[in-house]
Structure 1
Amino acid sequence: MTAREILSFQFGHYSNFIGTHWWNIQESNFSYDQDHPSDINHDVLYRQGETQRKEVTFTPRLLAVDLKGTLGYLSEQGNLYEECDSEESNSLWENKDLEVVTEPAPAKSPFIQSLEANAGESARKFDLESEVNSWVDYLVPRFHPRTINILKQYKHACTSQPFDIFNYGLNIWKNAQYSEDFCDKIRSYVEECDMMQGFHVILDSTDGFAGFGAACIQYLRDEYGKSILSFPAIDGKSSEPSAANLIKVVNTALCWQSIGEHSSLFSPLCAGTSGWLPSDVPREFANLTYNRDLKYHSSALLATALDTVTLRYRNKAYPASALSDLCADLNKLGRKAAAISLSLPFPMTVKRDLIDILDDFDGSPWTSLTPSCEITTDKNMQSIVLRGVLEERLKRPLHDARKQMAKPAYRCSTVHEMMTMYLAYSCHASATHLTVINEPLKIKNPFPKIFNNNVHANGDIAAWPVGEDVKSVPVMAGLHSGEGLSKMFSSLHDQAMKVKSIKKFHAFQDSGLEQDEYAECLNYLLDCKEAYEDHYV
C-alpha cells in the first residue's frame, strides 16, 4: 500500500514525554499476524531502512529536540546502530602510550534493562512511576541516527541559565550553522518520501522551545507548503503563583500567535483545566486515576488522544483521506485553532450494547484536553474517531431485542451508522466527520497503570471492582472547532494583559522582543476570541 508520509517533530522536554508515549502506543499496536493485519497504515509515520548489517529497520520518521542532560543512557546518534569498536578506532596509536579516561555509563531504568534483556512481561513488576525521570526511561522504539538533536547552549533544569524565554529559541534557530544542519535533516527525510502530505509538530509552548518550534514551523510553511498540524503543549502540573507563571503566559501567547499564522491547524494540549492559572485542577475521567504532577502520567493521556484523532488519515480502509482534509474541515473562516477531546476508556459497560450506552449518555460524551476550553456539543466543526467497539456489541439480535426495537437506532447495522445517528441528534448544528476502527487501543508496558479497578481486561466498565490487568480499551477522541475556544483565547489574553510592559521582564527585552510586537500579539488573541464567538459567523 502506498503511504502518504508525514514527518513528525518534538520540541521540548514535555513534548518528548508525549511523543515517547505516542510512539510506544504505536509499537504496542503493531500486528505481526498476517491473517489479521492491522487496520492502521503505520507507513504514514514510520520509515523503513537498513542497518549496516543489511538488517531491515522500521523507525519513526521523527526529529526530536531537547536540552543537554536529558538523554541519560541514550546516545545522540540514537540506539539503532552499534558504535564502532573502540579497538578499531584506536588502531593508529600504540596502546602503551595511551591513557584512557572513561566516564561511568549513565544508569538505565529497570524497564529499559528489561527491554534489552528481552525480559518482556517481567516488566510488569517495575514501578515506573518512581523510576521514570526522563522520557528516555520508558522509550520502546529505536531511533534513526538523525532523530535526536540537542541544543547544547542550554542545560535541562539549569537555574542559572534557564531556557525559559520565547526569543531564546528563536535566536538559536537564527544561528545559521545550527538551522542549516537541522534543515538538512528535514530535507533528508522529505527526499525519502514518495507522496509526503505534511507535518506533525508537538512543541512546548511555555519556554524557549516555543520560539524554536515556531521558527521551524514557519520554515516548513515557506519551504514545503504542506499541511502542518501543530500541538502546543502545556505541562498542567500544580504550581504556586509566581513571576515564572507570567513568563510562561507570555511565551504561550507569542507561540500561539506564530503557529497560528503558519500552521494549517493547531490544537493546544494540557491535562489541566486552566493551563496557565496557578489554581489549575486536573481534568477528570470517570474510570481513571492519574497524577497530573507526573509528566509520565499526564503525557500518556495527551498521547492517547493524538494517536486516536490522527487515525482518520492513517486508516487503511480510506487511503485517500489526508491530513489536508482534516485541516480544511476545521480551519474555516480563519479559525486556526481546534480543541481536542478524549473519552478513555469509551464507556462500554459490561453486558450492554452500544445502542443502550449512547441512549443513556447524559451531558457531553467527551472530556476536553485543551486548556480553559469546555467543548460543547452544539455548533461545532469536528472530526471524531472511535476505535475498539466491535459490531457484535452494536445491538441485540432480533429475537432478544426487547426494548431496543423501539429505538430508531435499532435500524442501524454498523457502528459507524449508529454513531453517525447519535452525533446528528446530540450535536445540534454541527458538521461531523466520523472515523470508526475496529482495533482497540492495546495497553502494554510502559503505559501507566491509571485505570481504576472496575475496568475489565478488555476495557469494559463494571459497577464493582474486578481487579484485572487492562489489556485493551475502546477510545474516542476528537478535534473540535467551536465557541468554547473563544473563552480559551479570552482567558489567555486576560492573563497576558497582566504584563503591561515587557520591560518588567528584562530577559524578553534583552533577547530582542519589542513592546510593539507584544502589543500585536495581544491584539491577535482578541481577534481569535472574536473569531469563535457566535455572533461573528
Structure 2
Amino acid sequence: MREIIYIQTGNVSNYIGTHFFNTCESYFTYDVDDKVKKMDQIDHNVSFREGVAPGGQPTFCPRLLLFDEKENFGALPKINDLYSPELGDEIAAWGGDIGINKQVPIEKSAYQRYLDEGEDEDSDWFESNDQLLHSVRYWSDFNRVYHIPRTLQPVPFVGTRDTNDPDCVTYWADGVTTFQRECLDNDLMDGDFRRFVEECDLLQGVQTTFDASKFASFTTSMIQLARECLPKTTALSFMVNCVQNSGLVNTHDPTACRAMTNASLAMCALEEYSDVNVPLLHPLVWRTGAWTRNLTYDSQSLYHTTALLSSHLESATLPLRLKSPGAGLDLQALSCQLDTKFAHLTGIFPTPRVDALEKSDSDLSHDFSVEVSPQQITHSSRRSGVFAEWGVLRSTSLPLRDAIEDWIQKTVETRYPFVNMTRSDIEYPLPFSFPRLFNTSSLSADLHRSRHTSSHRSLDTVPIYSALRCSAALSSYFNQHYKFIDTFIRGGTDLRFLNPDGDDGIGKDELREVREAMLKLRDAFSTSDAFENEEAWDEDGRYDIY
C-alpha cells in the first residue's frame, strides 16, 4: 500500500502537522459527485491506518508518532472518544473513604466544543464566530482528526532549561538523554514505532517534521535508530530552524550559540541517516514581499503561518499519496529526482491571476527554507542555479496551468528530466479549520467557490504550486552555519554555552568536524567562488551571512 509513518516533534512542527492531517482528512468524501471522483485519486492508506476501536467500530487514524511537551497538548486527551473504555460495574478494592485530588482541566476551544456537538460544519457559524479561531492557544485547538492512544507521546525533558521561556533551546546532550530514557521507560522504538512498521504491507518510508530548538538531538537520535532498524527505508525530514538562526548571531549569546550548533549538528546527522532533508525558516523571521500581496495573515500567529507552511509541505508531497500508477510516486522516486541529501521548499500560494503571472518574475514565489538577499543571488543566477526540482502544480484551470508553467520556464533555466512536474486537478482544499488568509479581491476569478460571499470561507479549494528544489541558494544556508562554527572555534567562545553543568559534551574536536561538514556542503552547492576570502567574524564576535 506504500505506507508512510509520520513523526512530529515540537510545538511548531505539531502546528504544521495538525494543519497537514486536517487537510488529509478533508479528502475523505462520502457523496457521489465530481468532487468525490477527484478526491478518489488519493490513497488514504498511505497516511492513515485502519483499526478497530474497543467498542467494535472501525477507525481510520493517522499513522503518526507525535511528541511534544505535556503543556503544549492543551485539552487533547490521550484516550479519545473512540477508545474510551466501556464503563462497567466498578469493583471496590477498598471500603474506606477515598480522597481524590484533580488538576483543573484545560478548557476545550470553541471549535472543539462545536465539533463535539456532532453538528455538520456550517460556514454561517464560522462567519459569526470567526474571532474564536483567532484565539488558538494550542495546536490541538483546531485539530479535526482522532488519534490512537500510542500516537500521543508527551515528553518530559531532562536537564537544565527554562520552562517559562518559549524560545528556550535545549542542550544537545539533554535531548539525547531524553530519547534514551523514553526508549528505556516506554519501549518507544521496539514498542510503538515497531507496531506501526508491522502494520504496513509495503512501507515506502518515514516522514519527519521536527523543531530544531528543543527536539533536534531527540529526533535525530530517533532517525538514526530507525535507519539502523530499517536500512532500506527512505527517510524524508523537515527541520524547523530556531528563531535565532537568522541574520546576525552574537557568539556571546548562549541561546543563539546553542540554536546554531544544534541545527548544525542536526544537519550532520541528517546527512548520514536521512535521504532527503529540508530546512525550514522559523515563521517569525519570514520577510514580506510580492508573495504576500494576496495574503492577510498574522505574522505573529503560529496558527496562521504554519497553515502556509503546511499547505506547501502537503502539496509538495501529494504525489506520494496518489493512486494512479503514473502519478503515484514514492519517497524513493523523490530521493532519486533530487539526487541530493538537501533541498529547500518553495512555491506560490495562492496563485494570482493569469495576467499577474505573465508580468511577474520569481518574486511571486517564496523560499521557506533559505533567506537570500537580492545582493547575494541575482535573477540570472537564480535561473541557472537550480540543479533539480520536484514540483507539484494543482489547478483545474488550464489557462492558469499554462501561465504557471510559462512562469516556471521563465524563472528556472533547468529543464526535464532535472525538473519534474506533477500536474493534478485536485486543488488544495480548505477545511473549516484553515484560517482566513486570503485577499480574495485580488485572486483569480477561476477559484472554486461554494458560496458567493466576501470571505475565503466561500472558497472550497485554491490552486497552488509547491516544489522541493535543489539549488545554489542552499550554499548560503550552509555558509551561514560554517561561518558561525568557525567564529565559535576561533573566537574562544565558552563551550559551557553548549553543555549542561558538569557535562563534557560537545568539545572543539566535535565542532571542527561539524565545521568541515558545513564547508563541504557549502562548496557542494556553490556555483562560484563567491565565498572565497570572506571575513568570517568581526571584533564584536558577530558575523553577517551576507
Cα–Cα, structure 1 residues 219 and 281, in superposed 2: closer, same or farther, change >3 Å?
A: same
In the alignment, which residue of structure 2 is the partner of 1:408?
none
Counterpart CA distance in 2 for 1:454 and 1:254 is 45
Matches within 5 A, 1:124-523: 124=127, 125-128=129-132, 130-153=134-157, 158-159=163-164, 164-175=170-181, 176-178=183-185, 180-207=187-214, 209-225=215-231, 226-234=233-241, 236=243, 242-270=253-281, 272=283, 281=287, 284-317=291-324, 318=326, 320-331=328-339, 335-347=340-352, 349=353, 359-373=358-372, 376-378=382-384, 379-391=386-398, 393=399, 415=401, 423-424=408-409, 426-430=411-415, 431-455=418-442, 460=447, 467-470=454-457, 471=459, 472-500=461-489, 501=493, 503-505=495-497, 507=499, 510-511=502-503, 512-523=505-516
1:298 to partner: Cα distance: 1.5
Counterpart CA distance in 1 for 2:442 and 2:85 is 45
The amino acid that maps onto 2:277 is F
| RMSD (Å) for aligned C-alpha atoms | 3.2
Cα–Cα, structure 1 residues 27 and 174, in superposed 2: closer, same or farther, change >3 Å?
A: same
Counterpart CA distance in 2 for 1:217 and 1:235 is 20
Deviations along 1:116-154, whole A, 9 cap, x unmatched?
Answer: 113422244142454211111111101011101111245
Cα–Cα, structure 1 residues 521 and 371, in superposed 2: closer, same or farther, change >3 Å?
A: same
Matches within 5 A, 1:520-535: 520-534=513-527
Contact 1:423 1:432 in 2 (8 A): no
Match of 2:53 among 45, 51, 54: 51
In the alignment, which residue of structure 2 is the partner of 1:107?
107
Counterpart CA distance in 2 for 1:150 and 1:458 is 45
Corresponding residue SS for 1:113:
helix
Contact 1:486 1:531 in 2 (8 A): yes
Please list every run of 5 or more consecutive structure 1 residues that lacks an aligned counterpart in the other structure: 395-414
Higher mean alpha-carbon deviation, 211-220 vs 439-448, is at 439-448
Cα–Cα, structure 1 residues 29 and 6, in superposed 2: closer, same or farther, change >3 Å?
A: same
Provide TM-score, normalisation by structure 1. Answer: 0.83
Cα–Cα, structure 1 residues 459 and 67, in superposed 2: closer, same or farther, change >3 Å?
A: farther
Contact 1:459 1:474 in 2 (8 A): no
Cα–Cα, structure 1 residues 102 and 418, in superposed 2: closer, same or farther, change >3 Å?
A: closer
Contact 2:8 2:17 in 1 (8 A): yes
Deviations along 1:290-318, whole A, 9 cap, x unmatched?
Answer: 22322112211111111000012222223
Corresponding residue SS for 2:177:
helix
Counterpart CA distance in 2 for 1:457 and 1:106 is 42
1:44 to partner: Cα distance: 0.9
Deviations along 1:34-72, whole A, 9 cap, x unmatched?
Answer: 443313222211111111122111111000011121222
1:449 to partner: Cα distance: 1.2
The amino acid that maps onto 2:527 is D
Corresponding residue SS for 1:287:
coil
Cα–Cα, structure 1 residues 160 and 423, in superposed 2: closer, same or farther, change >3 Å?
A: closer
Corresponding residue SS for 2:92:
coil
Counterpart CA distance in 1 for 2:329 and 2:494 is 45
Cα–Cα, structure 1 residues 77 and 109, in superposed 2: closer, same or farther, change >3 Å?
A: same
1:285 to partner: Cα distance: 2.0
Counterpart CA distance in 1 for 2:467 and 2:299 is 21
1:365 to partner: Cα distance: 4.9
Deviations along 1:144-174, whole A, 9 cap, x unmatched?
Answer: 1110111124599614996612221112223
Corresponding residue SS for 2:118:
coil
Deviations along 1:170-218, whole A, 9 cap, x unmatched?
Answer: 12223351473343111101111111110100011122x1001001111
In the alignment, which residue of structure 2 is the partner of 1:399?
none
Counterpart CA distance in 1 for 2:332 and 2:236 is 9
1:498 to partner: Cα distance: 3.9
Contact 1:503 1:509 in 2 (8 A): no
Fraction of identical pairs, as percent: 24
In the alignment, which residue of structure 2 is the partner of 1:17?
15
Counterpart CA distance in 1 for 2:414 and 2:447 is 32
Cα–Cα, structure 1 residues 203 and 254, in superposed 2: closer, same or farther, change >3 Å?
A: same
Deviations along 1:54-108, whole A, 9 cap, x unmatched?
Answer: 21111110000111212222223455311453x74x4233566333333332211
1:282 to partner: Cα distance: 5.0
Corresponding residue SS for 1:481:
strand
Counterpart CA distance in 1 for 2:407 and 2:203 is 35
Counterpart CA distance in 2 for 1:234 and 1:133 is 21
Higher mean alpha-carbon deviation, 50-59 vs 503-512, is at 503-512
Corresponding residue SS for 2:475:
helix
Contact 2:383 2:414 in 1 (8 A): no
Counterpart CA distance in 1 for 2:371 and 2:502 is 31
Provide TM-score, normalisation by structure 2. Answer: 0.82
